[in-house]
Amino acid sequence: MTEIEIISEKSLTLGEVKDMVAEIKKNTELGFRANKTMEYVELFAKQKSSEITEMKKKIEELNIIRLKEKVIAKIIDLQPTDTESLKMVLTTENITVKQEDLGKILECLK
């Protein structure tokens, strides 16, 4: 069995995955897993890539130290609409954020 070497790792939103798989689909035929991935992201990816980029930029500009790329991607995918929902997303990553910062994050998602 061959050994896999991870060169880099990056957290992506569902919309970004959708764009990547669509780009791959243009050049080659998708395998079983890629087709399943495409079906999934077509069902659940709600935003356009331009909207995702804008939201991601706005949230990163808030400079909330505890928010890592992985958490930002999860927030954008789940689109919480109130502070309680946002807190639930953050607790899955064991992160606490000030109340005022929660409001700022929610504003970035609108």
Measured CA to CA, the distance from residue 107 to residue 54 in angstroms comes to 12
d(CA 103, CA 78): 16
The low-confidence residues of the chain, meaning pLDDT below 50, are none
Burial of residue 14 (CB within 10 Å: 0-12, 13-18, 19+) is buried
Is 15 within 8 Å of 54 (Cβ atoms)?
A: no
Question: What are the tokens at 96?
Answer: 């606490």
Q: CA-to-CA distance for 87 and 84, rounded, in angstroms? A: 5
Q: What is the pLDDT of residues 83-104, one digit of tens each?
A: 899 988 888 888 888 888 898 9
* Whole-number pLDDT of residue 92: 84
What is the pLDDT at residue 110?
82
- Report pTM: 0.78
Give me the helices (H) in 28-82, please: 32-44, 49-61, 69-78
Q: Determine the straight-line distance between the first and last CA of the chain, rounded to whole angstroms.
A: 48
